[in-house]
Structure 1
Amino acid sequence: MTPGRQFCAISLLLLAAGAHLPAAAGCSRPIIVPASATGQSVTINGAQVGGMIPDMINQLGVKIGCTFHWSPVPRQRLESMFIAGSADLMVAATQVERRDQAGVFVPVVEARPTLISVDFNRPSIHSVADLLERRQLRVALVRGYDYGPAYQQMIKTLTSQGRLYLEPDVRTVARMLADAMADVTIMPASGFIGALPGDARIEGLAGKLRIEPLDELPWIPTGIYLSKTSLTEADRTLLQRALVASVNSGVWWQAFKRYYPSAVLIDNTRPIEAAR
């Protein structure tokens, strides 16, 4: 589906869900949303931010009288801006404790981080512990991604072992796997595969991936944080109610299925039972 048709489909989905949304009250000012590339969920083209999540949020804004100012930033800087109170929203974010201190979280889907590689010859890896024992494997991760305490402890151990590369985005990690500069990465497969189109060096990886769940990295809520400091209580409440209503109506999961093939979502992305 072309971006234009995807945007029209998003508009129709939210129109159908309009009865579930709060009446348009309007935000008190434009909402500041820095964003980094995340598969087809958030795409960056120069200074332009696009993809499923910006399309959904912009259309939601039309319904409730809010506008959003998007800007591309590296993933690690995005989190620093949000925690410092210079960003109103943090999108495509996993729920972790330190972010909960800075924002109110609205879950959109659940995602399962997995071990991703292009090597089908090595023995299977079933856990982070297995990975840490395979010291010959070089690991490339996206700087700023966080899948909980076990993931953060793994980063510390891999760093001490001298075989961790922290990179600014998914495409850089994919190029490292394609060029045999790294052996494995960890993230939801939908985010990795969604970043491949449009780059001739890595597009061919999609059909060659080995995807392995790791015992210590379970399903984790992924969604949108609303700042507790930069947003007024009225704006935050309006946005939270609108987001929760749209998630519970099912339109966000329908949007995921429009932007991602079902084979990409299976076993690593699933709908939230109910947002709150």
Structure 2
Amino acid sequence: MMLRWGCTAATAAAALMAAATARAECSREIAVPVAPIGVSIVITGGTVSGIYPDVLRAASQKIGCQLVFSAVPRARQEVLFEMGKADLLLPASRTPARDQLGTFIPLLGHRATLISLAGPRPALTSAQELLDRRELRVAVVRGFDYGEPYQALIKELAKQGRLFQEVDAVAVARLMQSGTIDVTIMGPTTLAGAVMRDARLAGVLDKLRVEPIPELPWSVSGIYVSRRSLKPEDQAAMLDMMEGVAKSNAVMEAFQRVHRADILAESVRPR
């Protein structure tokens, strides 16, 4: 009996040691500053949740890495990544500037559109039409980046004196609800998620008018793993984890559970 117990104890100890070794994948905590983005990133007090944090926490536990999420404004999130003080940037569209700083792991097909409240206004079918309609006031979230055509568009809108830059999508939605602005430019799921989480915006979701334009085509959205802040072995652990998340399709499935099919169809699709 003692021999059997001893063997069992030794086996259990060996298993625990093996498990501990298998889980020791990161040399330190992984810093992930995030900004609120609809239901993708939800910040309540000091608690960070939402589609991306929930999926990534589950994945990181399997490999023994600890992700530490902190809440920051979107523009600050971008600056921290540029300075090498953020290990991950998420969610993010792929851009040449960001490619200089980190390795991109695509998770979804994504696009920004023009979004407004339903009304009699003639449809907008291009960026030039938006620029020509100088009576339309436009809001964007500071720090969002959907590529060079987007940056060129908002730069021109700013020159025309009709651009509002806000801290998050909730602030944009409130301006739209109050009639202060007429149009925003962002992913429909981003705005829809913000509206769904704010009781003061009740009824806005059913009034959203989504207008895709060719200057903002489908692209890829995903996560950047920093090459500046992470040691090579930690980069490798994060890249392996992100590849696993991409293959699992967990993020897309979470979007499908949360958003209406019509909103999803104009904003997010499998990569």
Q: Fold-level match, TM-score > 0.5? A: yes
- Measured after TM superposition, the shift of residue 245 of structure 1 is 2.2
- Alignment partner, residue 161 of structure 1: 160
Instruction: Name the SS for the 2:91 alignment partner.
Output: strand
- Measured after TM superposition, the shift of residue 255 of structure 1 is 2.2
Counterpart Cα distance in 2 of 1:222 and 1:198: 22
- Contact kept? 2:38, 2:197, Cα under 8 Å: no
- Contact kept? 1:42, 1:53, Cα under 8 Å: yes
Q: Report the AA paired with residue 199 of structure 2.
A: A
Counterpart Cα distance in 2 of 1:263 and 1:216: 21
Instruction: Name the SS for the 2:99 alignment partner.
Output: helix
Matched, 1:185 2:184: yes
- Alignment partner, residue 194 of structure 2: 195
Instruction: Name the SS for the 1:243 alignment partner.
Output: helix
Instruction: Name the SS for the 1:166 alignment partner.
Output: strand
Tell me how many residue pairs correspond in the alignment. 250
- Contact kept? 1:35, 1:75, Cα under 8 Å: yes
- Contact kept? 1:35, 1:71, Cα under 8 Å: yes
- Measured after TM superposition, the shift of residue 120 of structure 1 is 2.0
Counterpart Cα distance in 2 of 1:72 and 1:50: 10
- Alignment partner, residue 212 of structure 2: 213
Runs of 4+ in structure 1 displaced over 6 angstroms?
A: none
Instruction: Name the SS for the 2:36 alignment partner.
Output: coil
- Contact kept? 2:196, 2:205, Cα under 8 Å: no
| Residues 198 and 254 of structure 1, relative CA distance in 2, 3 Å threshold | closer
- Alignment partner, residue 4 of structure 2: none
Matching of residues 223-262 of structure 1 within 5 Å: 223-262=222-261
Instruction: Name the SS for the 2:204 alignment partner.
Output: helix
- Measured after TM superposition, the shift of residue 261 of structure 1 is 3.2
| Residues 262 and 24 of structure 1, relative CA distance in 2, 3 Å threshold | farther
- Measured after TM superposition, the shift of residue 147 of structure 1 is 0.7
- Alignment partner, residue 6 of structure 2: none
- Contact kept? 1:52, 1:259, Cα under 8 Å: no
Counterpart Cα distance in 1 of 2:258 and 2:90: 17
Q: Report the AA paired with residue 169 of structure 2.
A: V
- Measured after TM superposition, the shift of residue 186 of structure 1 is 0.7
- Measured after TM superposition, the shift of residue 24 of structure 1 is 4.0
Counterpart Cα distance in 2 of 1:121 and 1:261: 24
- Contact kept? 1:116, 1:211, Cα under 8 Å: yes
Matched, 1:68 2:70: no
Counterpart Cα distance in 2 of 1:140 and 1:255: 28
Counterpart Cα distance in 2 of 1:119 and 1:206: 10
- Measured after TM superposition, the shift of residue 220 of structure 1 is 1.5
- Alignment partner, residue 269 of structure 2: 270
- Alignment partner, residue 15 of structure 1: none
Matching of residues 53-132 of structure 1 within 5 Å: 53-132=52-131
Instruction: Name the SS for the 1:33 alignment partner.
Output: strand
| Per-residue Cα deviation, 1:76-131 (whole angstroms, up to 9, x for no partner) | 00000001000101111111111111111111101111100014211110111110
Q: Percent identity?
A: 43
Q: Report the AA paired with residue 39 of structure 2.
A: Q
- Measured after TM superposition, the shift of residue 230 of structure 1 is 0.5
Counterpart Cα distance in 2 of 1:203 and 1:81: 34
Q: Report the AA paired with residue 72 of structure 2.
A: V
- Contact kept? 1:30, 1:69, Cα under 8 Å: yes
- Measured after TM superposition, the shift of residue 249 of structure 1 is 2.8
- Contact kept? 2:51, 2:251, Cα under 8 Å: no
- Alignment partner, residue 3 of structure 2: none
Instruction: Name the SS for the 2:57 alignment partner.
Output: helix
Counterpart Cα distance in 2 of 1:254 and 1:124: 31
Counterpart Cα distance in 1 of 2:90 and 2:122: 36
